[in-house]
A and B are shown apart, each in its own frame.
Chain A
Amino acid sequence: MISASGLAAQFTELMLAVLLAPLLTGWVNQCRAWLQNRSAPPLLQPYYVLAKLFAKDVVLAHSASPLFRFAPYLIFGCIALAAAIVPTLGTDLPMNAAADAIALVGLLALARLFIALAGMDIGTAFGSLGSRREMLVGFLAEPALLMVLFTASLISGSTSLATIVETLAHKEFVIYPSLAFAGVAFTMVSLAENARIPVDNPSTHLELTMIHEAMVLEYSGRHLAMIEWAASLKLFVYSCIGLAIFFPFGVAEGGDAFGIVMALPALILKLAIGGVFLALIETLSAKMRIFRAPEFLGIAFLLAVLSMLVHVLLER
């Protein structure tokens, strides 16, 4: 039964994710600039970029198919849907009955598929190069992400993210060693999935090293704006999945309105700290050669498997 308060919570959460996502990207960029002793761009820079891109005309290649034109909207839609599944403020979300953690991974995979197709659509060398690399990273990162989510599911006995968060946040506090492994694995996966530094450099336009940027090189105007926004949203979604599984404290129980209001500052604080950590990781590590990425993600997968093993041994 879908309640009105549930719908309201769902809507708030989705709008919050869509609107706050560029802010998180701006915050990470700012922290990174501070850590690297550069003068930082304004916090709202991603919004300015989006506004600028929306105002510009779209330049389409002659060989562009319809897929190239609708892909940005589809990608944005997929990731926004994923954002709606992850409980960030309260756990009483109508969407949660429809889609669990596995569907979440599926949605992200669908977005990846379309961005890779769009990259190859024009037929330039860079686009297809980027798409191939993206698929290489993706097919290794996905099982690791699933394993991390399965570990959390084993602990709470359900694949629904809302149940996972409720179990971890509101039952009696227990230390789960398996989540330590899962946390490391998840960090590695989200670095790879969000085109962050050890795997890809989000601010590069150097031909040989880019993955994500190579795929979206042909996009311009509002299409590029949608893609950039979707990329910010993806970072936001991954951060929220991480917070939901590893630091679920502060999330309101059920659809309690006061709890949801109180959960907002907690969420913003957690995201701000998470952003600092992301900037720190990106500053401290060097970008890997692309052929090291399989090893990096292989280790993430093995850690995720280990976390399941540790759960079986220590926590039953």
Chain B
Amino acid sequence: MLAQALTKYGPQLINLFAAALLLLSFAMLAQRRILSLINLFAAQGFVLFLSTMLVAWLTGQHHLYGSAALTLALKVIALPWILHRLIRRLNVKWDVETLINIPTTMLVGIVLVILAFNLALPITMLAGTVTRATLGIALACVLLSFLMMITRSKAVPQVIGFLSMENGLFFAATGAVYGMPMVIEFGVALDVLVGALILGIFIFEIRERFDTVDTRHLERLKERP
């Protein structure tokens, strides 16, 4: 009964998850509070986990279950936990400062989404996977995370943007070609984990040096003559 319903509505459900990912990307773009930003990132990871599970079940690609489990462990549990610890230790719970105001950022975001949809359309025509329509959305998620990294001045949201970009890439991989080989996926996942750890240490160093985690201060880093 459930299996039947899943087979019938599976592709539509994947589209729904794709839309949810895009919605969460926009929510992250509009979010001012750093704690909510981390929670949104965890929610994005969870939606990604659900959609990967569904793709795995629909296509019978068993290695995708592995990547789904990896997503759950890493992006829903480990990384948000590390980030929560990081901001607790940095003691930064203030509002996120943006370089451009939020409505303008959202407008740029819309333009990016249109761009991504247009770029993905010809590829979508060629692909034969059940998830082909989601490629445009995955691309849009990547671009939106990029935008978030650019428009935020503090280091922690930039790190979250970087991590969320990986979410988009992962979704693109499952959408276009049913996931990458396991070895690559492990590699990328570990890269992201290590990247988050290194960036955490990096943020500490920025604060040690400048008493703030505002990356604009990095412009003053110059060799003394």
Q: Do A and B bind each other?
A: yes
A-B CB contact pairs (8 Å), 21 listed: A175-B12, A175-B15, A175-B16, A177-B15, A177-B19, A180-B19, A181-B19, A295-B103, A299-B30, A299-B102, A299-B103, A299-B106, A302-B106, A309-B113, A309-B114, A309-B117, A312-B117, A313-B136, A314-B133, A314-B134, A314-B137
**Residues from chain B with Cβ under 8 Å of A299 in the complex:** 30, 102-103, 106
CB–CB A181/B109 < 8 A: no
**Residues from chain A with Cβ under 8 Å of B133 in the complex:** 313-314
The reply to whether the CB of A306 lies closer than 8 angstroms to some CB of chain B is yes
CB distance from B208 to the nearest CB of A (A): 35
CB distance from B197 to the nearest CB of A (A): 34
**Residues from chain B with Cβ under 8 Å of A181 in the complex:** 19, 23
Report how many A-B pairs have Cβ atoms within 8 Å.
64
The reply to whether the CB of A29 lies closer than 8 angstroms to some CB of chain B is no
CB–CB B106/A298 < 8 A: yes
CB–CB B117/A306 < 8 A: no
Expressed in whole angstroms, the Cα–Cα distance for A298 and B22 within the complex equals 17
CB distance from B124 to the nearest CB of A (A): 8
CB–CB A175/B9 < 8 A: yes
- Which B104-154 residues have a C-beta within 8 angstroms of A? 106-107, 109-110, 113-114, 117, 120-121, 133-134, 136-137
CB–CB B26/A302 < 8 A: yes
CB–CB A180/B136 < 8 A: no
Expressed in whole angstroms, the Cα–Cα distance for A3 and B132 within the complex equals 48
> Which residues of B are interface residues toward A (Cβ below 8 A)?
9, 12-13, 15-16, 18-20, 22-23, 26, 30, 101-103, 106-107, 109-110, 113-114, 117, 120-121, 133-134, 136-137
Q: Among B13, B19, B110, B121, which residue has its beta carbon within 8 angstroms of that of A302?
A: B110
Where chain A touches its partner, the secondary structure class is helix
**Residues from chain A with Cβ under 8 Å of B136 in the complex:** 313
Q: Among B18, B102, B109, which residue has its beta carbon within 8 angstroms of that of A314?
A: B18
Residue of A nearest to B133 (CB): A314
The reply to whether the CB of A184 lies closer than 8 angstroms to some CB of chain B is yes
With A313-B133, A313-B137: A174-B12 Cβ-Cβ less than 8 Å? yes
Expressed in whole angstroms, the Cα–Cα distance for A88 and B137 within the complex equals 35
Expressed in whole angstroms, the Cα–Cα distance for A23 and B18 within the complex equals 39
Q: Among A175, A295, A298, A305, which residue has its beta carbon within 8 angstroms of that of B13?
A: A175
CB–CB B117/A313 < 8 A: yes
The reply to whether the CB of A7 lies closer than 8 angstroms to some CB of chain B is no
CB–CB B113/A180 < 8 A: no
Expressed in whole angstroms, the Cα–Cα distance for A305 and B15 within the complex equals 17
CB–CB B26/A177 < 8 A: no
State the 6 A-B residue pairs at the shortest beta-carbon distance, nearest first. Answer: A177-B19, A175-B12, A298-B103, A177-B16, A314-B15, A177-B15
CB–CB B20/A180 < 8 A: yes
The reply to whether the CB of A178 lies closer than 8 angstroms to some CB of chain B is yes
- Which A215-269 residues have a C-beta within 8 angstroms of B? none
The reply to whether the CB of A281 lies closer than 8 angstroms to some CB of chain B is no
Residue of B nearest to A312 (CB): B117
The reply to whether the CB of A74 lies closer than 8 angstroms to some CB of chain B is no
**Residues from chain B with Cβ under 8 Å of A180 in the complex:** 16, 19-20, 23
**Residues from chain B with Cβ under 8 Å of A303 in the complex:** 23, 26
Find the residue from B9, B15, B26, B109 having the highest chain A CB count within 10 A. Answer: B15
**Residues from chain A with Cβ under 8 Å of B106 in the complex:** 298-299, 302
**Residues from chain B with Cβ under 8 Å of A309 in the complex:** 110, 113-114, 117
Find the residue from A177, A181, A295 having the highest chain B CB count within 10 A. Answer: A177
Expressed in whole angstroms, the Cα–Cα distance for A195 and B32 within the complex equals 24
CB distance from B36 to the nearest CB of A (A): 12
Residue of B nearest to A315 (CB): B15
The reply to whether the CB of A294 lies closer than 8 angstroms to some CB of chain B is yes
CB distance from A57 to the nearest CB of B (A): 47
The reply to whether the CB of A310 lies closer than 8 angstroms to some CB of chain B is yes
CB–CB A305/B110 < 8 A: yes
Expressed in whole angstroms, the Cα–Cα distance for A143 and B211 within the complex equals 45
